[in-house]
Structure 1
Amino acid sequence: MKRYGTGLAVTVMAGGLAGAVQAAEMGAVDEPIKLAINEWTGQHVTTHVAGEMLEAAGYQVDYVTAGMMNQFQALADGDIHATLEIWSSNVSEEYAKKVAEGTVVEIGDLGLEAREGIAYPAHVADLCPGLPALDALRDCAQVFATAETIPMGRLVDYPADWGTPGADRMTGFDLPFKAVPAGSEGALITELRASTEKKSPLLITFWQPHWAMSAYDVKFVDLPVGNEACFNDPGWGSNPNATHDCDFAPSRIFKAGWAGFAEKWPAAYEILAAYQLAVGDQQPMMGAIDVDGGAVDEVVARWMSDNEDKWRPVVDAATR
């Protein structure tokens, strides 16, 4: 798996976190802690590592499938107790409402250094000279046209229930592209694989950390730095008639929980609040699952077994 990252290195930064964790009561160990499972592999890895840590502390854990955009009502109701990988760029307004009403609480950053943007496999620069400059897309949009988009180019956007960030950029920059939502994360990967194998043109909305960034040599288009003025004021930027004529805002990735979590499972709350993940640690596990066909629980369990000295101090600091 080293071709996809730096190897299965430390995921929990024990030395820095253990000192910040406070020993706490265990709470309701006879009741399972329900962790949300969303639609992408990285989130599965993130959540299972957290679950393994909670189980090592003596808790029961259930994994509950929940859509990223519609999980917050279940979180507010206590039907789900924590969600471990929320991306600020895609979080719904429902999340802010639940936090404001006090039924959902944020439990700290996950620590992933992330990026999202308009991207392409490296070979596409040969088909559209001038990339990664934005104006290159304006000049060669027809290269990306398909039967469903002609005469416009095609952008493969995120699945519909992830929002429309790619479409927003096509409108914002007034580019002659039609954004077509992918059916799933797997569909995005299929597009990348096919483009790489056939050396065909592809423009796609994508993100890191993801094993495919290395596997398919994915590059980002250079866009003006994103900021709040760009997202809210049409007068900002190159297009006076639209917002989002800039790059994605730097993504903050964080964790949240049911408001009653800390009271019901105090030590578990301390563990999840301290839990951190690094891009170089998550991506290889994603590759072991999506490329090599490993099961999420087996890949994560192997890491846990091989690196107990890296995560055990965090668990111990919360429970002793």
Structure 2
Amino acid sequence: MTTLAKQHVCVLMGGWANEREVSLMSGNGVADALEERGHRVTRLDMGRDVAARIAEASPDVVFNALHGVPGEDGTVQGMLDLMGIPYTHSGLATSVIAIDKELTKQALVPHGVPMPGGRVVKSADLHDSDPLPRPYVLKPVNEGSSVGVAIVTDDGRYPDPIPSDAEGPWQQFETLLAEPFIRGRELTTAVIDGPDGPRALAVTELKPKAGFYDFAAKYTDGMTEHVCPAQLPDEITALCLQYATQAHRLLGCRGTSRTDFRWDDEQGEDGLFVLETNTQPGMTPLSLVPEQALLCGMSYADLVEAIVAEALRFHSARDGEGRRDG
């Protein structure tokens, strides 16, 4: 593994998104690992003065440990591009597309990556009629970490039609994505960039102790069992690795990404569907990318340094292209 020269890294975390607390856990974990490796670290809890504070710190590179809007949707990426500061993870265009589940489908499905059907609906219309046959899933178009996800079934807590006073994502979001519910198993695959290109690491199966793999199940210790590597037929493992790598390449992800799947094991290969690709997956003690990296022989600190090294490599190559084009 390539040794990373000592850097001044600004770890950008926190902010005001729904995933603020998770971001703080990710960011502090990253900062601790970098300090242990001898790097100079500036920890920055993002506020509205973020540009001025980054400029004042004048780091060599920013480690973007933000989750959700505005750290994962292209806003912070565009700011850092204008400032000319290298940063980890995906760039502006990729972030805009990948956080939007409908745009992601438009980018992936024509290239053979299977994703569920469905459509975007106005939340107010849900109280008149169901947008799809039950069971179906409702989720925000551009949130991560299963924030605001509801599963609508015939035998669940939602009458038909859904009452306007029922608790659910329709009370928080004006529009939602409605998709058919895919029974079966929850799988995920991490991809890491390196000098030789992206590499899919492994497949993890997620088994929530109750309900489904929602925000609480992801980030509450003991609520979800991680089976890594997942006990799957070889062809399903191979497809997960293939689709995750395809998604990473097609979307233009950088550094690391994580692609989530549902697999209906009664349907074989035809039952595997990509749900979304996360451009800034979590780096908390319960997070999946560090777990898969460790399985492949990469420690948490190695993973963090590899992500930083990829950011510097990309920025250097882009600057070189700019000089040649100029």
**TMscore range, shorter length:** 0.3 to 0.5
Higher strand share: 2
Give the helix-richer structure, 1 or 2.
1
TM-score by length of structure 2 reads 0.34
Tell me which of the two structures has the higher relative contact order, counting C-alpha pairs closer than 8 angstroms and 6 or more residues apart.
1
TM-score (norm 1): 0.34
